[in-house]
Amino acid sequence: MERKKITKGFWIKLVSIPILMFFFAFALVPIYEVLCEITGFNGTTGRVEAEQQYQVNEERLVTVSFFASTMPGFPVQFGPKVNSIEVVPGKFYTVSYVAKNNTDEIVFGQAIPSVAPTDAALHFKKLECFCFVRQAFKPHEEVEMALRFVIEPEMEERIKDVSLSYNFFKLDS
Protein backbone atom coordinates (compact mmCIF):
# COMPACT_ATOMS: atom_id res chain seq x y z
CA MET A 1 0.00 0.00 0.00
CA GLU A 2 1.16 3.53 -0.81
CA ARG A 3 1.73 6.11 1.91
CA LYS A 4 -0.86 8.88 2.04
CA LYS A 5 -0.07 12.14 0.30
CA ILE A 6 -0.53 15.21 2.46
CA THR A 7 -3.07 17.52 0.84
CA LYS A 8 -3.03 21.31 0.78
CA GLY A 9 -6.34 21.42 2.63
CA PHE A 10 -4.79 19.52 5.53
CA TRP A 11 -2.04 22.14 5.92
CA ILE A 12 -4.49 25.02 5.71
CA LYS A 13 -6.66 23.50 8.43
CA LEU A 14 -3.70 22.66 10.65
CA VAL A 15 -1.99 26.05 10.42
CA SER A 16 -5.22 27.99 10.80
CA ILE A 17 -5.86 26.54 14.27
CA PRO A 18 -2.94 28.33 16.00
CA ILE A 19 -3.63 31.52 14.04
CA LEU A 20 -7.28 31.49 15.09
CA MET A 21 -6.32 30.76 18.71
CA PHE A 22 -3.95 33.75 18.69
CA PHE A 23 -6.82 36.03 17.74
CA PHE A 24 -9.08 34.23 20.19
CA ALA A 25 -6.79 35.53 22.98
CA PHE A 26 -7.66 39.07 21.85
CA ALA A 27 -11.33 38.18 21.45
CA LEU A 28 -11.30 37.23 25.15
CA VAL A 29 -10.96 40.95 25.99
CA PRO A 30 -14.43 42.04 24.75
CA ILE A 31 -15.93 38.71 25.85
CA TYR A 32 -14.61 39.34 29.36
CA GLU A 33 -16.00 42.89 29.39
CA VAL A 34 -19.47 41.76 28.34
CA LEU A 35 -19.36 38.94 30.90
CA CYS A 36 -18.47 41.41 33.68
CA GLU A 37 -21.33 43.70 32.69
CA ILE A 38 -23.88 40.90 32.61
CA THR A 39 -22.83 39.21 35.83
CA GLY A 40 -21.35 42.05 37.86
CA PHE A 41 -18.25 39.88 38.02
CA ASN A 42 -15.27 41.72 39.49
CA GLY A 43 -17.59 44.31 41.12
CA THR A 44 -18.36 46.10 37.85
CA THR A 45 -21.06 48.67 38.56
CA GLY A 46 -23.84 49.74 36.22
CA ARG A 47 -24.93 53.16 35.07
CA VAL A 48 -28.33 54.84 34.58
CA GLU A 49 -28.91 57.84 32.34
CA ALA A 50 -31.84 59.44 34.20
CA GLU A 51 -33.68 59.16 37.53
CA GLN A 52 -36.16 56.36 37.22
CA GLN A 53 -39.13 55.47 39.39
CA TYR A 54 -38.79 52.19 41.22
CA GLN A 55 -41.18 50.24 43.43
CA VAL A 56 -39.99 51.35 46.85
CA ASN A 57 -40.38 49.39 50.05
CA GLU A 58 -39.64 51.95 52.80
CA GLU A 59 -39.23 49.18 55.39
CA ARG A 60 -36.18 47.63 53.71
CA LEU A 61 -32.79 49.08 54.62
CA VAL A 62 -29.37 48.35 53.24
CA THR A 63 -26.11 49.67 54.68
CA VAL A 64 -23.74 51.05 52.09
CA SER A 65 -20.12 51.54 53.23
CA PHE A 66 -17.65 53.70 51.36
CA PHE A 67 -13.96 52.96 51.01
CA ALA A 68 -11.09 54.69 49.29
CA SER A 69 -7.53 53.86 48.39
CA THR A 70 -4.87 55.27 46.13
CA MET A 71 -2.16 53.56 44.13
CA PRO A 72 1.38 53.89 45.53
CA GLY A 73 2.88 57.23 44.49
CA PHE A 74 -0.46 59.00 44.00
CA PRO A 75 0.06 62.27 45.90
CA VAL A 76 -3.58 63.11 46.63
CA GLN A 77 -5.38 62.54 49.92
CA PHE A 78 -8.64 60.86 49.09
CA GLY A 79 -11.51 59.54 51.19
CA PRO A 80 -15.28 59.45 51.69
CA LYS A 81 -17.00 62.27 53.57
CA VAL A 82 -19.18 59.80 55.48
CA ASN A 83 -18.11 56.24 56.02
CA SER A 84 -21.50 54.64 55.58
CA ILE A 85 -25.18 55.42 55.11
CA GLU A 86 -28.41 53.47 55.27
CA VAL A 87 -30.36 53.45 52.05
CA VAL A 88 -33.75 52.27 50.85
CA PRO A 89 -33.44 50.28 47.62
CA GLY A 90 -35.10 52.16 44.77
CA LYS A 91 -34.31 55.66 46.05
CA PHE A 92 -31.52 57.89 44.77
CA TYR A 93 -28.86 59.19 47.16
CA THR A 94 -26.00 61.62 46.83
CA VAL A 95 -22.78 61.25 48.79
CA SER A 96 -19.40 62.83 48.32
CA TYR A 97 -15.73 62.03 48.48
CA VAL A 98 -13.08 64.56 49.45
CA ALA A 99 -9.69 64.89 47.80
CA LYS A 100 -6.75 67.17 48.49
CA ASN A 101 -3.67 67.56 46.33
CA ASN A 102 -0.66 68.05 48.62
CA THR A 103 1.86 68.92 45.93
CA ASP A 104 2.75 72.08 44.06
CA GLU A 105 1.83 70.57 40.75
CA ILE A 106 -1.38 69.70 39.03
CA VAL A 107 -2.15 65.98 39.37
CA PHE A 108 -4.32 63.93 37.03
CA GLY A 109 -6.06 60.79 38.17
CA GLN A 110 -8.73 58.26 37.39
CA ALA A 111 -10.89 56.54 40.02
CA ILE A 112 -11.83 52.90 39.46
CA PRO A 113 -14.86 51.62 41.38
CA SER A 114 -15.61 48.18 42.69
CA VAL A 115 -18.66 46.89 44.55
CA ALA A 116 -18.81 43.90 46.85
CA PRO A 117 -20.54 41.48 47.04
CA THR A 118 -20.63 40.64 43.36
CA ASP A 119 -24.38 39.91 43.43
CA ALA A 120 -24.96 43.49 44.57
CA ALA A 121 -22.70 45.04 41.92
CA LEU A 122 -25.22 44.14 39.26
CA HIS A 123 -27.90 46.28 40.96
CA PHE A 124 -25.69 49.17 42.02
CA LYS A 125 -26.40 51.87 39.44
CA LYS A 126 -24.76 55.27 39.26
CA LEU A 127 -26.38 58.37 37.78
CA GLU A 128 -23.45 60.66 38.40
CA CYS A 129 -19.90 59.87 39.47
CA PHE A 130 -16.48 61.47 39.57
CA CYS A 131 -15.22 58.16 38.23
CA PHE A 132 -16.93 58.71 34.87
CA VAL A 133 -14.19 61.11 33.77
CA ARG A 134 -10.58 61.72 34.66
CA GLN A 135 -9.99 64.27 37.40
CA ALA A 136 -7.52 67.15 37.54
CA PHE A 137 -6.42 68.21 41.04
CA LYS A 138 -5.00 71.73 41.28
CA PRO A 139 -2.08 72.32 43.72
CA HIS A 140 -3.13 72.43 47.39
CA GLU A 141 -6.79 72.56 46.52
CA GLU A 142 -9.38 70.55 48.42
CA VAL A 143 -12.34 69.40 46.33
CA GLU A 144 -15.59 67.61 47.03
CA MET A 145 -16.62 65.12 44.39
CA ALA A 146 -20.19 63.95 44.14
CA LEU A 147 -21.64 60.54 43.54
CA ARG A 148 -25.36 59.89 42.92
CA PHE A 149 -26.51 56.31 42.99
CA VAL A 150 -29.41 53.94 43.48
CA ILE A 151 -29.63 50.34 44.55
CA GLU A 152 -32.28 48.61 42.48
CA PRO A 153 -35.00 46.86 44.50
CA GLU A 154 -34.39 43.73 42.41
CA MET A 155 -31.30 43.11 44.53
CA GLU A 156 -31.68 39.93 46.57
CA GLU A 157 -33.30 40.45 49.98
CA ARG A 158 -30.56 38.55 51.82
CA ILE A 159 -27.97 41.23 51.02
CA LYS A 160 -27.94 43.71 53.91
CA ASP A 161 -24.49 45.25 53.46
CA VAL A 162 -22.91 46.61 50.33
CA SER A 163 -19.50 48.19 50.09
CA LEU A 164 -18.26 50.52 47.41
CA SER A 165 -14.57 51.19 47.05
CA TYR A 166 -12.59 53.49 44.81
CA ASN A 167 -8.97 53.21 43.89
CA PHE A 168 -7.27 56.27 42.40
CA PHE A 169 -4.70 55.73 39.65
CA LYS A 170 -2.28 58.40 38.47
CA LEU A 171 -2.52 59.57 34.87
CA ASP A 172 0.20 61.45 33.01
CA SER A 173 -2.15 64.07 31.56
Partner 1 sequence: MSTISAVAAHDDHHGPEKGLLRWVKTTNHKDIGTLYLWFAFSMLLLGGAFAMGIRAELLHPGLQLMDPQFFNQLTTMHGLIMVFGAIMPAFVGLANWLIPMMVGAPDMALPRLNNWSFWVLPFAGAILLSTFFMEGGAPAFGWTFYAPLSTTFAPDSTDFFIFAIHLLGFSSIMGAINIIATVLNMKAPEMRLMDMPLFVWTWLITSFLLIGAMPVLAGAVTMMLTDRNFGTAFFDATGGGDPVMFQHIFWFFGHPEVYIMILPAFGVISHILPTFARKPLFGYASMVYATASIAFLSYIVWAHHMFLTGMPVAGELYFMYATMLIAVPTGVKVFNWVATIWKGSMTFETPMLWALSFVILFTIGGFSGLMLGIVPADIQYHDTYFVVAHFHYVLVTGALWGIIAAVFYWLPKWTGKMYNETLGKVHFWWAMISVNVVFFPQHFLGLAGMPRRIPDYSLQFADFNYISSIGGFAFGLSFVLFAYIVVDCIRNGKPADSRPWYSAKGLEWTLSSPAPYHSFNTPPTRAEILEESQHS
Q: Which is nearer to partner 1, 14 or 82 (CB)?
A: 14
Q: Is 132 in the site for partner 1 (CB under 8 A)?
A: no
119: left (phi over 0), alpha (psi -120 to 50) or beta: alpha
- Report the distance separating Cα 131 and Cα 129, nearest Å: 5
Region from 40-48, 53-61, 95-103, 135-143 binding partner 1, contact rule CB under 8 A? 40-48
Closest CA to 149 of 55, 80, 48, 58: 48
Q: Is 10 in the site for partner 1 (CB under 8 A)?
A: yes
Closest CA to 159 of 131, 127, 106, 117: 117
Instruction: Figure out which of the listed residues 38, 39, 139, 146 binds partner 1, where binding follows CB under 8 A.
Output: 39
Instruction: Figure out which of the listed residues 12, 29, 34, 50 binds partner 1, where binding follows CB under 8 A.
Output: 29
Instruction: Figure out which of the listed residues 48, 62, 68, 116 binds partner 1, where binding follows CB under 8 A.
Output: 116
Q: Is 106 in the site for partner 1 (CB under 8 A)?
A: no
Minimum distance, C-beta of residue 152 to partner 1, in the bound complex (Å): 17
Q: Which is nearer to partner 1, 97 or 166 (CB)?
A: 166
Which residues, other chains included, contact 85 with Cβ-Cβ below 8 Å and sequence gap of 6+? 63, 64, 93, 95
Q: Is 163 in the site for partner 1 (CB under 8 A)?
A: no
Q: Is 133 in the site for partner 1 (CB under 8 A)?
A: no
**In the complex, which residues of this chain contact partner 1 (CB under 8 A)?**
1-6, 10-11, 14-15, 17-26, 28-29, 32, 36, 39-43, 110, 112, 116, 118-119, 167, 169-171
